[in-house]
Structure 1
Amino acid sequence: METQESALTLALLAVPVRAVICRVLLEAGEDGLPAVDLARLTGLTLPRAAHHFQEMVQAGVLAMAIRERHVCYVLKARRAVREALGYLDSSGLD
């Protein structure tokens, strides 16, 4: 496993809801989702989700964008996220 993938896998394991956030964003495509929709789809309150989103932005996993007056989040490291989630799925660690 590459270093970026290893670090990402460990980060996703440490906080499993972040793996859920990544899965939802992978499914959403390259345009990402508004924060409100992303929170709803992951089953989190917006304040709780915002904490995770901010941490993931600081880690370089997500990017924040403003679209039509909505805060949106997009996966920055789609390939690494896909590989890390694949590793989690194949190892049964998630």
Structure 2
Amino acid sequence: MATQESALTFALLAVPARAAICRALLEAGDDGLPADQLAQLAGLTLHRAAHHFGEMVQAEVLVLVIRDRRVGYVLKARREVREALSYLDSSGLD
């Protein structure tokens, strides 16, 4: 049975750009990636990506980090994101 947390994570990842952001952050590991690099990987402008980042931070999927005066993000809900991406991959919804 899905928890409210995993259902929310899945709903967020159903948006292809958000799934791309999460895939990149899974690969990046604990260091995360800068916002501009994530936006580029997702095929978004930084302005548009900021909207997605904000919603994912609010949902506690991402954590905002500042390193060397650069805004970046780290994946917080790693297990839930990995499960949601696995489901998306196996169902062909991605």
TM-score normalised over the length of structure 2: 0.91
> Does structure 1 residue 38 correspond to structure 2 residue 33?
no
Q: What CA distance in whole angstroms lies between the structure 1 residues aligned with 2:64 and 2:9?
A: 18
| 2:7 counterpart letter in structure 1 | S
C-alpha displacement of 1:61: 0.4
C-alpha displacement of 1:11: 2.3
**1:7 corresponding residue in structure 2:** 8
Q: Which runs of 5+ in 2 are unaligned?
A: none
| 2:9 counterpart letter in structure 1 | L
C-alpha displacement of 1:30: 1.2
Q: Which runs of 5+ in 1 are unaligned?
A: none
C-alpha displacement of 1:66: 0.7
Where do 4+ consecutive residues of structure 1 move more than 3 Å? Answer: none
TM-score normalised over the length of structure 1: 0.91
**1:18 corresponding residue in structure 2:** 18
Length, aligned pairs only: 93
CA RMSD of aligned residues (A): 1.2
Quick one: percent identity of the two aligned structures?
69
Q: What CA distance in whole angstroms lies between the structure 1 residues aligned with 2:91 and 2:39?
A: 27
C-alpha displacement of 1:6: 2.5
C-alpha displacement of 1:23: 0.6
Q: What CA distance in whole angstroms lies between the structure 1 residues aligned with 2:78 and 2:88?
A: 15
Is residue 12–residue 56 contact of structure 2 (8 Å, CA) maintained in 1?
no
C-alpha displacement of 1:39: 1.0
C-alpha displacement of 1:65: 0.8
Q: What CA distance in whole angstroms lies between the structure 2 residues aligned with 1:21 and 1:56?
A: 10
